[in-house]
Chains A and B, each alone.
Chain A
């Protein structure tokens, strides 16, 4: 069913909050995602030309690094990019088969690989490039928000979070219910000014990104040591400098 579900009262909006201030771009989330989803319910995730000159494969999470200019000095911003589980998910409504769907109960966007015909239209509809085609199975693939982990009662409760969140060594990734204003992730978004990516395109993504903090350590400009200005020593140094500059 590719109509977007009507928002149920009290329904969850599960998603990720990613802190661009603390993400160090280590790719642990991407690797952990690949590992979990190659073996989990969504697996296998194919790889092509593994040992050849052009290795390639399906990943649900890709980590980009950018150089951003700010206040006179540039800084590195690392951006893990995956499905944002949008409220206005065009990837769902364009699907001709009903394989691509958004769950009413928690907002997770999923693909049913048994129904997908591999027309690729959903990947064209996603401005975030979050969907990748599985050339071996002939169907589209995407992030499942580890739906096979987060509800797994066999796992200890603390481990019922997406693999990418569990793997993050800097705790830059947070998982929770963004429909609940009292949840930890919602409070984080409110306090840090969490942003939608490509807000102007109007997809209303669930996942939020916390912008890098502006630098708070303002270094005092260097002051010349007392007594160093003027005097015989300075005159001598100037003389040496002039002689050497000739």
Chain B
């Protein structure tokens, strides 16, 4: 409980700080660079959730614990949500800086493929009726999809040039303003906290549904 209240306050502080404390980065029109505090953590969560889902799937396939499958499914569903958010905020920024909401930049291509992979993952889950078989198939698909990700990250961006800002907005590069960096890391922390909270809620929902399907009344 105390964690949730602290997280709420922390997120409110970050939202205010991202507009008032941190300055707008040079080289971007107007205040557009502030999208960094929201878009990048969303993309980070989408990737993290996908990674968690893949690892949990592998654990399920090895040990056949239903808990691992609940984690894989919850992480995939939340990852999909954050992936959609990152796509939308990204295309708003694209409109403001590149002139079009959508232009098949390599970053946009890879996030669309990530969305398609998530979509296919839910499709295989809903197409198999036997619960054990469904878990195995979803897990296998999740791992197969994960091994194609390096191609998207390393191959596609090298084939075509990207307009996506890398150096000016990359926290590791020395060009970032210390105030911006502070707020950015704070936002990253807040989003991760929010993700963990939502993930735990989602797992609990799945567990209760699972118990109800088994006909067990107690929680």
Q: Are A and B co-members of a single complex? A: no
Q: Spell out A's residues near B (CB within 8 Å).
A: none
B residues sitting closer than 8 Å to A (CB atoms) are: none
